[in-house]
Structure 1
Amino acid sequence: MSIKNYKVAAALAIFCTLLWGTAFPFIKVGYAQFGIEGNDIGSKLLFAGARFTLAGIMVLFIFLVKNKHLPKIEKNGIMPVMLLGSVQTFGQYIFTYIGIGFTSGANTSVITACATFFTVLFAPLFFKSDKLNICKIIGCVLGFCGVLCVNSGGGVTVDTLFGDFMILMS
Structure 2
Amino acid sequence: MKANLLGSFSQAAKVRNICLVFLSISLFLASTRNPVKANLNSAKQTESQQFILASARNNCGDGFVSFFAGETKDFWINICGWLYPQFYKGIRKLDGAVVNVEITEVDLSNNVYQAIDGNIYYVISNTAQGRFLSITQGNRELLKQPLIDWFSLPYLQSSN
- Fold shared by both chains (TM-score > 0.5): no
TM-score range with shorter-chain normalisation?
under 0.3
- Using CA pairs under 8 Å that are at least 6 residues apart, name the structure with larger relative contact order, 1 or 2: 1
When Rg is computed on C-alpha atoms for both structures, the one with the higher figure is: 1
TM-score by length of 1: 0.26
TM-score by length of 2: 0.27
Q: Which has the higher strand share?
A: 2
Q: Which has the higher helix share?
A: 1
